Amino acid sequence: MTTSRRRLLLAAGAALLPRAASCAAPSPFGVASFSYQARLNAERGLRDPLRFLRFCRERGAGGAQIAIPAGDAAELGALRRYLDDTGMWLEGSVRLPRDAADLPRFDADVQAAKSAGATVLRTVMLSGRRYESFATAEDFRRFRETSAASVRLAAPVVERRQMRLALENHKDYRAEELIDLLRKLASPAVGVTVDTGNSIALLEQPLETVEALAPWAFSVHLKDMAIDEHRDGFLLSEVPFGQGFLDLPALVAALRKRRPEVRFSIEMATRDPLLVPCLTERYWATFDTLPGGVLARMLALVRERKEGRPLPRVATLSADALLRREDENVRLCLAYAARRLAADPRAYGVSPAQ
């Protein structure tokens, strides 16, 4: 997309966004902090949850998802008052306890988030990607054991604090594996942060994954994806809403059908495409029981929905240009969400989609 066209789209999108103060109701669409990784790295002070909430509100968001550090009571109280005053919502992001000795730290993080006004805490079991982190099926089996143990340690804490812990499908567990973990745990306080794009990297079909995980959805990472062929598999890239191949209205409807109260955190990562090397031997090391038909379906999807132009890349942008691109991308997502994905767009100050 040319710079001039991007600016025109941004201007059109911004016109659709309501001013935060005039919203009749808080928008269910917020921003996950990962959407602003470049800015958060450049402006460390923006990692403060209150500053980040204000930053997101200026862009028309109804809430935010960000790590909430255990601070003093006055800071946490100020954050909660801001939520009360503005009608915004807040979700936390927390690390699971490594072991029993780490439980006091985890409990303090949960309590801080609750004091700040959050009710949901998103977490991940693996910070990397399954096909890059594990060389053998045995490596992955050990990871499943240790991650399940961490979740079992965490569950009584969030239950006692009356909070909800949401495990993200983070390019680690396939949907059926994550559901199996949740069923065995059987805790009403532990569910899922449903990411609408991550599981494509594990050869899952987007709508099928969302429909499978929707009953456990406590929160959502909403993203659109573009895809292209590669000799080792395929390339996957986050793009502004409406510019990718995901059927966002269908994904949102599937989630609302099972969890009408769920909120959506836009996660628009402005970065170069990710390689999913599903045609390499290393990729299959932890998928020893996955049928070949799964790969065939994904490669067919790639051929059908691949981009007719190169996927967006940002590695050559200057630091300032990257910050501008990142902000443009998030604003475009918020504008699209307000106009095309709101259950009743008029509730958030915009006209219904044509």
Phi, psi of 316 (to 5 degrees): -90, -5
pLDDT (tens digit, 9 = 90+) per residue, 207-242?
Answer: 999 999 999 999 999 999 999 999 999 999 999 999
Q: Which has the higher per-residue pLDDT, 72 or 181?
A: 181
pLDDT surpasses 80 at 347: no
Residue 11 within any structural domain of the chain: no
Q: What is the mean pLDDT of residues 282-297?
A: 95
Residue 146 within any structural domain of the chain: yes
pLDDT (tens digit, 9 = 90+) per residue, 258-268?
Answer: 999 999 999 99
Query: Is beta strand 164-168 parallel, antiparallel or unpaired with respect to 190-195?
Result: parallel
pLDDT (tens digit, 9 = 90+) per residue, 182-214?
Answer: 999 999 999 999 999 999 999 999 999 999 999
Q: What is the pLDDT of residue 344?
A: 58
Q: What is the CATH number of the domain that holds 246?
A: 3.20.20.150
Residue 354 within any structural domain of the chain: no
Write out the H or E segment, with its range, that includes residue 102.
none
Q: What is the pLDDT of residue 349?
A: 47
CB-based burial of residue 66 (10 Å sphere; 0-12 exposed, 13-18 middle, 19+ buried)? buried
Residue 283 within any structural domain of the chain: no
104-114 core/surface letters (b: 16 or more CB in 10 A; e: else): eebbebbbbbb
The count of domains in the chain is: 1
pLDDT surpasses 80 at 9: no
Q: Domain range spanning residue 171?
A: 26-227+238-273+313-340
> What pTM, to 2 d.p., does this model score?
0.90
Q: What is the pLDDT of residue 345?
A: 47
Residue 13 within any structural domain of the chain: no
pLDDT surpasses 60 at 147: yes
Q: What is the pLDDT of residue 51?
A: 98
| 13/110 Cα distance (integer angstroms) | 36
pLDDT surpasses 90 at 15: no
Q: Which has the higher per-residue pLDDT, 3 or 252?
A: 252
Residue 302 within any structural domain of the chain: no
pLDDT surpasses 60 at 17: no
Give the confidence band of 25 by pLDDT, cuts at 50, 70, 90.
low
Matching residue, tokens 């009408």: 260
Q: What is the pLDDT of residue 5?
A: 41
Residue 122 within any structural domain of the chain: yes
* Lowest-confidence region among 73-77, 204-208, 272-276: 73-77
Q: What is the pLDDT of residue 71?
A: 80
Structure letter (DSSP) for residue 275: E
Give the confidence band of 18 by pLDDT, cuts at 50, 70, 90.
very low
pLDDT (tens digit, 9 = 90+) per residue, 83-111?
Answer: 999 999 999 999 999 999 999 999 999 99
Q: What is the pLDDT of residue 343?
A: 75
pLDDT surpasses 50 at 271: yes
| 198/6 Cα distance (integer angstroms) | 25
Q: What is the pLDDT of residue 307?
A: 85
Residue 128 within any structural domain of the chain: yes
The distance of Cα 75 from the centroid of its chain, to the nearest Å, equals: 26
Task: Give the chain's mean pLDDT.
Answer: 91
